[in-house]
């Protein structure tokens, strides 16, 4: 590498600088090379902040796990960048080829399909991956343009691919990106689970240990997927809930949250017969800078403010939002008691309504043996009540759709973090677009008999019981703080939360029932309430999930309020 590129002889007295110089030597990205050169120069000049920055960038490798890769964009092994993505692609290619085993050499090579969203560098990372997959001898197929994550998940199954990659950081902060991996075959297009994650990670480590990514074979012989892939997804999703008569005249607001959902959803709405929404124009087209939201997650305070303003302006009956890669769905309804006149439904409320719809339709069509509803263990226990009511099986899984999608006989699955699987024969992952269509179908059916979405919530309570949920979370700067809190809770279980005695504690690290081991504590209280404590899988947060069942909606609301106060007191006590 020339001096013009800023690569100098490594300083043996400073191992972090040596790592950074070695990284520079293989980085193909001019932007991250320039970024890293500036940090190195400042660090060598004695700048303490630059030294700390450099140490953080190379303190570790961004870990590849069951969520794939996800992290902040930038230079270094602890950031998302072209070097790390190239290593990941080569490692995944080696894994896929290894799994082919004894396939004859003249057989068709395994297929791997790549999708990408509108975040910064998503297209670059996707193209790098396609070239490396093709260079490794795989049949690599790149989706034709930026598209929602569910389209990639659909394409993995539709194309009979051995694996798929979606370049996205979903609803993470603007300067993040990620690398989500799906498996075909027996995995049916679901996200990876253990041991596949560890096996892929081992291959990635071997690639990284070999050094220069410039030595990795590349090929421009990858394919561009035909538009028929998107057409088929549109047709299958429109069929989830063709518009009933009650859809006529529906006024609703939609936001894509600066993501990739609108183009695909708009085609589906037309095919299914729904009226077009009143869009939040400033958030409709993809923009990786996310200029109107500090945090592009519909769950975050303020993220849907523009949607609510638009809804007030047009007199809407509901608001529907997708997150930036359109695998999540948020819904809001008018509420005079809310400060701005609108209330976002919780993920549990949406999940229970969609689960009710799925169970009813399954029962009407004649439920096959083993048909089931499934949700993550931190989601509302109300779904089990729905399954019991309709004679369906129920499965509680570890958090994440990589587990939910694998529930035997699944006809519907959800997690409280705004994720819903409503069409498992099409997509074995959360899908905010098909969930939006299913929700519009429910709303339109209710309108046809003079009911609103709020009325549906009340009908659910009267049919299945009044369930209420809430969450308390703590965001930390140092992730080791989370491990310390979990250790403290394990060392001494609380005797009560919110004045209600703790009956028993399940520590999932030891494995409970059919659940695989996980870093989760589940506290069962004497009044039937539940508190679950776990680290977030995608953010530096500790989360407490709270669930109650009341005699009425008002009783449930009072119970959950007391439990929230108790959970906060518990965290304060540990922190002190």
Q: Is the pLDDT of residue 2 over 90?
A: no
Render pLDDT for 310-326 as a digit per residue (tens, 0 to 9). 999 999 999 999 999 99
pLDDT category at 540 given cuts 50, 70, 90 is confident
Same domain, 277 and 398: yes
Render pLDDT for 198-207 as a digit per residue (tens, 0 to 9). 999 999 999 9
Render pLDDT for 254-277 as a digit per residue (tens, 0 to 9). 999 999 999 999 999 999 999 999
Token pair in block for residue 307:
């949607």
Strand partners, 515: 512
Helices (H) and strands (E) in the chain, counts: 17, 22
Same domain, 198 and 88: yes
Same domain, 313 and 450: yes
116 belongs to a structural domain: yes
Three-state secondary-structure class, residue 179: strand
Same domain, 190 and 122: yes
Counted domains in the chain: 4
Q: How far apart are CA 444 and CA 65, in angstroms?
A: 41
- Please choose, from the candidates 73, 24, 64, 32, the residue with its C-alpha nearest in 3D space to the C-alpha of residue 213: 24
Same domain, 127 and 157: yes
Residue with tokens 């009540």: 385
The CATH code of the domain that includes 442 is 3.40.120.10
Least confident stretch, 280-294, 382-396, 438-452, 505-519: 505-519
pLDDT > 90 in the chain, percent:
85
Strand (E) positions, 13-148? 69-72, 111-116, 139-142
73 belongs to a structural domain: no
pLDDT category at 457 given cuts 50, 70, 90 is very high
Same domain, 555 and 438: no
Q: Give the pLDDT of residue 503.
A: 96
Same domain, 552 and 459: no
Q: Give the pLDDT of residue 558.
A: 95
Q: Is the pLDDT of residue 474 over 90?
A: no
Render pLDDT for 68-105 as a digit per residue (tens, 0 to 9). 999 999 999 999 999 999 999 999 999 999 997 645 56
Q: Give the pLDDT of residue 105.
A: 62
The H or E element that residue 319 is part of is: strand 318-322
Q: Give the pLDDT of residue 290.
A: 97
Q: Is the pLDDT of residue 234 over 80?
A: yes
Q: Give the pLDDT of residue 526.
A: 95
Q: Is the pLDDT of residue 330 over 60?
A: yes
Catalytic site positions = 170
Q: Give the pLDDT of residue 10.
A: 44
Same domain, 500 and 455: no
Token pair in block for residue 468:
């209420």
495 belongs to a structural domain: yes
382 belongs to a structural domain: yes
Alpha helices per DSSP H over 58-147: 82-100, 122-135
pLDDT category at 423 given cuts 50, 70, 90 is very high
Entry pTM: 0.92
Same domain, 185 and 159: yes
Neighbouring C-beta atoms of residue 369, cutoff 10 Å: 6
Least confident stretch, 337-341, 494-498, 511-515: 511-515
Render pLDDT for 34-81 as a digit per residue (tens, 0 to 9). 999 999 999 999 999 999 999 999 989 999 987 899 999 999 999 999
Same domain, 421 and 320: yes
Same domain, 153 and 215: yes
Of 394, 429, 464, which residue is a domain's last? 464
How confident is the model over 167-173, as a mean pLDDT?
95
The CATH code of the domain that includes 548 is 3.30.310.50
Look over the chain and give the mean of its residue pLDDT values, rounded to a whole number: 93
How confident is the model over 356-375, as a mean pLDDT?
96
Q: Give the pLDDT of residue 104.
A: 52
Q: Give the pLDDT of residue 6.
A: 44
Of 432, 464, 496, which residue is a domain's last? 464
Residue with tokens 């994650």: 197
Q: Give the pLDDT of residue 576.
A: 59
- On whether the CB atoms of residues 120 and 178 are closer than 8 A, the answer is no
- On whether the CB atoms of residues 326 and 156 are closer than 8 A, the answer is no
pLDDT category at 538 given cuts 50, 70, 90 is low
Of 226, 259, 294, which residue is a domain's last? 226
Q: Give the pLDDT of residue 134.
A: 98
Q: Is the pLDDT of residue 463 over 80?
A: yes
Strand duo 419-421 + 393-397: pairing: unpaired
69 belongs to a structural domain: no
pLDDT category at 7 given cuts 50, 70, 90 is very low
How confident is the model over 112-134, as a mean pLDDT?
98
Segments forming the whole domain that contains residue 106: 82-226
68 belongs to a structural domain: no
Q: Is the pLDDT of residue 225 over 60?
A: yes
Same domain, 380 and 472: no
pLDDT category at 106 given cuts 50, 70, 90 is low
Render pLDDT for 560-570 as a digit per residue (tens, 0 to 9). 999 999 999 98
Q: Give the pLDDT of residue 478.
A: 83
How confident is the model over 183-193, as a mean pLDDT?
95
75 belongs to a structural domain: no
How confident is the model over 137-143, as a mean pLDDT?
98
443 belongs to a structural domain: yes
Q: Give the pLDDT of residue 390.
A: 98
Cis peptide bond N-terminal to 408, omega within 30: no
């Amino acid at each position: 590498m020339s001096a013009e590129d800023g690569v100098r002889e490594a300083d043996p007295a400073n191992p972090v600088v040596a790592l950074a110089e070695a990284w520079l030597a293989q980085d193909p990205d001019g932007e991250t090379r320039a970024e890293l050169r500036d940090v190195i120069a400042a660090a060598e000049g004695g700048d303490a902040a630059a030294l700390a920055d450099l140490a953080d960038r190379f303190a570790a490798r961004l870990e590849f796990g069951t969520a794939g890769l996800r992290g902040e964009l930038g230079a270094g092994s602890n950031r998302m960048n072209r070097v790390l993505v190239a290593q990941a692609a080569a490692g995944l290619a080696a894994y896929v080829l290894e799994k082919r085993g004894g396939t004859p050499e003249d057989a068709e090579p395994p297929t791997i399909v790549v999708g990408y969203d509108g975040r910064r560098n998503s297209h670059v990372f996707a193209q790098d991956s396609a070239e490396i997959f093709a260079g490794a001898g795989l049949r690599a197929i790149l989706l034709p343009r930026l598209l929602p994550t569910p389209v990639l998940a659909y394409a993995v199954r539709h194309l009979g691919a051995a694996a798929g990659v979606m370049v996205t950081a979903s609803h993470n902060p603007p300067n993040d990106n990620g690398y989500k991996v799906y498996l075909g075959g027996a995995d049916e297009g679901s996200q990876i689970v253990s041991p596949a994650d560890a096996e892929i990670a081992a291959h990635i480590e071997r690639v990284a240990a070999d050094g220069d990514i410039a030595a990795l074979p590349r090929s421009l012989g990858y394919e561009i997927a035909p538009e028929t892939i998107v057409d088929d997804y549109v047709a299958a999703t429109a069929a989830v809930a063709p518009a009933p008569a009650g859809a006529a005249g529906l006024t609703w607001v939609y936001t894509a949250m600066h993501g990739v959902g609108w183009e695909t959803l708009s085609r589906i709405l037309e095919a299914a017969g729904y009226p077009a929404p009143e869009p939040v124009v400033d958030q409709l087209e993809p923009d990786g800078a996310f200029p109107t939201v500090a945090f592009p997650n519909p769950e975050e305070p303020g993220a849907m403010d523009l949607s609510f303003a638009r809804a007030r302006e047009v007199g809407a009956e509901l608001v529907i939002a997708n997150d930036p890669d359109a695998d999540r769905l948020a819904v809001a309804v008018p509420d005079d008691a809310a400060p701005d006149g609108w209330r976002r439904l919780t993920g549990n409320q949406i999940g229970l309504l969609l689960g009710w719809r799925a169970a009813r339709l399954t029962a009407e069509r004649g439920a096959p043996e083993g048909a089931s509803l499934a949700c993550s263990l931190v989601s509302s226990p109300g779904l089990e009540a729905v399954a019991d009511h309709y004679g369906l099986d129920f499965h509680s899984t570890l958090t994440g759709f990589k587990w939910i999608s694998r529930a035997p006989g699944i006809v519907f699955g959800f997690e409280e973090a705004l994720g819903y699987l409503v069409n498992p024969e099409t997509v074995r992952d959360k899908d905010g677009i098909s969930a939006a269509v299913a929700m519009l179908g429910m709303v339109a059916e209710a309108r046809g008999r003079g009911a609103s979405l709020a009325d549906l919530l009340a009908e659910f309570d009267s049919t299945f019981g009044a369930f209420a949920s809430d969450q308390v979370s703590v965001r930390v700067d140092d992730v080791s703080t989370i491990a310390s809190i979990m250790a403290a809770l394990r060392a001494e279980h609380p005797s009560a939360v919110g004045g209600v005695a703790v009956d028993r504690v399940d520590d999932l690290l030891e494995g409970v029932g059919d659940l695989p081991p996980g870093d989760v504590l589940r506290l069962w209280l004497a009044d039937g309430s539940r508190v679950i404590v776990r680290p977030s899988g995608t953010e530096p947060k500790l989360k407490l999930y709270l669930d109650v069942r009341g005699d009425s909606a008002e009783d449930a609301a009072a119970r959950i309020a007391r439990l929230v106060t108790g959970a906060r007191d518990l965290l304060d006590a540990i922190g002190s």
